Amino acid sequence: MAIQTFVASTVLTAAQMNALQGNDYNQTVSTKTASYTLVAADKGTRIAMNNASATTITVNTSLFAAGDTLFLQNIGAGTCTITAGTATVSTSGSLALAQYGGGTLYFTSAGVAIFFSGSATPPVPVAVSSLVIAGGGGGGNFYGAGGGAGGYINSVSGELTGGGGAAAGTFAATSGVTYTVTVGAGGAGSVGTGSGTSGVASSIAGTGLTTITATGGGGGGRDTVGGSAGGSGGGGGENGGAGGTRTASPVQGFNGGAGSGAGAGGGGGASELGNTDGASAGGDGLSSSISGSAVQRGGGGGGRTTGDTAGSGGEGGGGAGTVAGSANTGGGGGAAVGATPAAAGGSGVIIIRTPNTDTLAVTSGATVTNPTGFYVYTFNASGTIKWGF
């Protein structure tokens, strides 16, 4: 029963007395299935959120008075975050409620509340998995070659990292440390008669962590000029240019293809050399299910063939001709065909995953999802992530 207002002449019925007594032991429950903003009538009740996706419960000022309380709980699979609207909400725990989390919201004034978590604080993760992909290299012009894919470093158990190696190691998060997540841009394609620009590195860095750095993909070469070295190497120019070499430590991709009489080299991909699938073809990328479903990324860019046509881009975002590497795949850019400029490499991406039995991180710049058993933080641009306090 919601809170009642009584005056001197009010007569309580037996039913009302039973309802009031019942509320002490069986609080009135209001179930919500979408993000909700508290109203004054919620005082003294229990709000239960039930949604498989992320939701919020917003707290505004001038609706409650000092001493008012209500209980907030999340019974859905999606994280429910208690959000300060015009009011101030503080806590010593977390305002992000995982499934079956909850606690009491206590108002010290009309605009200030404290959330007392009724849940044990989940642990900080000790095995953080990540997929770190750098920006792909840009394609070359004038008998130009394809750009190499951005470096591909994967620590998901059972999957491969770039260059054909076993998964890299996970890392243990340190409570209260803010980790900087840097997502590299793709390199520019040549607009004149030059080589493509290499992509920009992506990284995860923070106190106590050996920085995880994926190297930008090598730019595609031109004419007799070889491809640039990178996470995966850029292809070599058509007239005998050598394929760019891959980063040696840690290995995170493959070399670019060499130029030959059949055409300029394709950029190296995360899973194979440039030219593997044919003259001027970009190397294919790798597939990972870190986000909950399999996605292929890290394809090399296609080079120019002797017939002045575009070699195929590698599977996983590799560009071809005027087609740039796909955004957030680290795909290499395609080489110029005819009088057109070469294409840019695709931007990188960083995806971080932890078990959902661990505490939910506080992030900036990330999209947070929770496929079965995990929290997944996808950074399509640079940001930060922190667990604990």
pLDDT tens digits, residue range 249-300? 999 999 999 999 889 999 999 999 999 999 999 999 999 999 999 999 999 9
pLDDT tens digits, one per residue of 313-326 = 999 999 998 899 99
The pair phi, psi for residue 367, each rounded to 5°, is -100, 125
User: What pLDDT score was predicted for residue 123?
Assistant: 78
Mean pLDDT for 96-118 is 89
Q: What whole-number distance in Å separates Cα of residue 145 and Cα of residue 103?
A: 60
Poorest-pLDDT segment among 32-36, 60-64, 67-71, 89-93: 89-93
Q: What ranges do the domains of the chain cover?
A: 14-117, 122-389
Q: What whole-number distance in Å separates Cα of residue 144 and Cα of residue 188?
A: 13
User: What pLDDT score was predicted for residue 64?
Assistant: 95
Q: Are 86 and 60 in contact (CB under 8 A)?
A: yes
pLDDT tens digits, one per residue of 350-387 = 999 999 888 889 899 999 998 888 999 999 999 999 99
Q: Which residues contact 18 (CB under 8 A, 6 or more apart)?
A: none
Task: Tell me which residue has tokens 């506080």.
Answer: 362
Cβ neighbours of 182 (radius 10 Å): 20
User: 14-117, what's its fold?
Assistant: Jelly Rolls (2.60.120)
Residue 94 has pLDDT above 90, yes or no: no
Q: What whole-number distance in Å separates Cα of residue 162 and Cα of residue 332?
A: 14
The pair phi, psi for residue 77, each rounded to 5°, is -75, -25
Q: What whole-number distance in Å separates Cα of residue 154 and Cα of residue 143?
A: 34
Residue 27 has pLDDT above 90, yes or no: no
Q: How many alpha carbons fall within 13 Å on the CB side of residue 296?
A: 15
User: What pLDDT score was predicted for residue 7?
Assistant: 72
Q: Are 187 and 136 in contact (CB under 8 A)?
A: yes
DSSP 201-234: PEEEEETTEEEEEEPPPPPP--TTPPPPPBSSPP
Cβ neighbours of 32 (radius 10 Å): 16
Residue 119 has pLDDT above 90, yes or no: no
User: What pLDDT score was predicted for residue 122?
Assistant: 67
